[in-house]
Structure formats: C-alpha cells, structure tokens
Amino acid sequence: MKTILITNRKGGVGKTTTSVNLATNLASKGFEVLLIDLDTQGHLQIGLGIKKHFLLGIHDMLKMGKIYENGIQNTSFQTLDFIPAHVNFDISELADESAKLKRLFRKIKQKKQYDFCIIDTPPTSDVLLKNALKVSDYALIPMQCEYLSFTGVLQFLRIFYKNSISVKSNIELLGVVPTMYNKSMPEHKQILQKLELEIGKERILPFIRKDAKLSQAFIDGVSIFQSSSRSRGAIDYNNLSNEILNKIKEV
Ligand SMILES: Nc1ncnc2c1ncn2[C@@H]1O[C@H](COP(=O)(O)OP(=O)(O)O)[C@@H](O)[C@H]1O
Ligand SMILES: [Mg+2]
C-alpha cells in the first residue's frame, strides 16, 4: 500500500477536490483505494456524496489506536473505501499519537490489500499532520497559481522538511500540483516559472485547469469522471493520476 498525503497549510487550494478526484480516478482504473479524511471539517464526504452522519471517525481511531467495527465505509465505487472525519473533533485531545497511528495502519493493511491510501488533511501544519507524516510514503501539495499561494508553498515546504526530519519520516515529496490554472492569466504562467526555478521541473506535477464543473461535481457529490467525463477537470485529473502512477512505478 502506497500512502499519499494531500497537504498544504493553506485552505481553499484544492486539497479535497484533488483527494476525491484522484481517489475516484484510481478506483475507476481498478486499484483498491482507501480515502481518509483527517480534516475535522469533514468536506470529503460531501464530495463523495455520502449524507450519513458518522459519530466516530479517523480522529477517534487515532486517539484509541484501533479500527472501530464498521469504521471503514463503502462508497459508490466498488474499489473505493472511506474513513470519515469526526466533524468538530477537538484536536487538542491528541498529542503525539504516531505509535497508535502506525498500529492503526498495520491493522488497516491486514483488513484489505489496498493499493493506495489517500489522506486529505486540514489547512494546518499541526499535530495531525506530524502524525500523518509518519505513515505516509508521499506528499502531494496542491497550490493555487497565485503569488501568495506560491510563497506559502515555499514556506510550507521548509516546515514540511523540518517536520519530516524531526519525526524521522521517510516521506518523499511526490510534487506540487498547480490548481485552478488559467492560461489566459499571465500571472499564472509566471508563477509556474518561478516555482520551477525554486523547486525544479521534476517536482511540478501536471496542472489542473480552473473548471466550474469540478465545483459543481463536488456539490453534487459525484466524481468529475461520472458527471462530465470530457471536461477539463476530468482530463486534467486523469493526467495527474497517470503521472503519479508513472512516478510511483519508477521508484
Ligand atoms: N480546478 C478547479 N477549478 C475550479 N474550482 C475549483 C478547482 N479546484 C477546486 N475548486 C473549488 O475551490 C474551492 C476550494 O477547493 P477545496 O478542494 O475544498 O480546497 P481545500 O481542500 O484546499 O480547502 C471549492 O469550492 C472547489 O470546488
Ligand atoms: Mg479541504
């Protein structure tokens, strides 16, 4: 199982949209995928179209270090499972739970042979992220193509590397995904050039263009591949998924 952490301490950059569309794309390619919502806002389940209210979620499992009976939910995709967030869970109840999280992941791996686990994270770089770093193989950082988002990503990368070292994580940067890209905006092109100079071309993943159909699909609780399979959003997320499969195959 390869675990991909979708992270950026900034909100509204496309983390949850990327989590849903990457997970549903990989699942539709036949991979067994587990999607975990570490963000106590619980947005992921809206994007998956799951209306049920869950009393317990990943945050409780993290605290207790065990998988609850029926803790892993089915989705409308046969090969996609989901662990919801505990909405509004008080994360001050969590300290360094990484030993418990590691145990939890061992149990998850015993339950089913997942090919991928995708973790959506809150817009913070707090204890939750530090815990998640310990069990993740790769980090994927969505970045809006705007100047402040760009400088935020550079700052975030510094914290990310520092945290990874301090928690002795072997996590690798899979890359930065430029999101909401609009080629008619000169600023967007400039930001991509600056990003390339800072982090190198090989760390920039295929961009996702701005597409209102992505927002609509999210609100409707369906994946973009079901609602508008020929849209820009569907094409771009499929490209991203293929590139990630290639990159992971190489290592
Ligand atoms: N490529 C895109 N084109 C248009 N809207 C997008 C795109 N990606 C995300 N959005 C919208 O931007 C908002 C924030 O995205 P979201 O994935 O929730 O970000 P985050 O999880 O980082 O807070 C949502 O309303 C979402 O529908
Ligand atoms: Mg989100």
Q: What is the DSSP string of 170-216?
A: --EEEEEEEESB-TT-HHHHHHHHHHHHHH-GGGBPPP-B--HHHHH
The pLDDT tens digits for 114-167 are 999 999 999 987 788 888 888 899 999 999 999 999 999 999 999 889 988 888
Query: At residue 55, what are phi and psi to the nearest 5 degrees?
Result: -75, -35
Ranges of residues in the chain with a pLDDT under 50 are none
**What is the pLDDT, as a whole number, of residue 251?**
62
Alpha carbon of 96 to ligand 1 centroid (Å): 30
**How far is it, in rounded angstroms, from Cα 224 to Cα 222?**
6
CB 173 within 8 A of CB 203: yes
Atom of ligand 1 nearest to the CA of 236: 1
Atom of ligand 1 nearest to the CA of 181: 1
**What is the pLDDT, as a whole number, of residue 111?**
86
**What is the pLDDT, as a whole number, of residue 25?**
98
**How far is it, in rounded angstroms, from Cα 193 to Cα 181?**
13
**What is the pLDDT, as a whole number, of residue 67?**
87
Residue/partner pairs of 163-168 with CB below 8 Å, 24 or more apart: 163/125, 163/129, 163/130, 163/133, 164/133, 166/130, 167/98, 167/130, 167/133, 167/134, 168/134
**What is the pLDDT, as a whole number, of residue 95?**
78
Pick the CATH number of 2-250 from 2.70.150.10, 3.40.50.300, 3.30.160.20, 3.40.228.10: 3.40.50.300
Alpha carbon of 13 to ligand 1 centroid (Å): 6
Q: Report DSSP state, residue 227.
A: H
Alpha carbon of 67 to ligand 1 centroid (Å): 30
Alpha carbon of 45 to ligand 2 centroid (Å): 11
Query: Quick check: CB of 231 below 6 Å from ligand 1?
Result: no
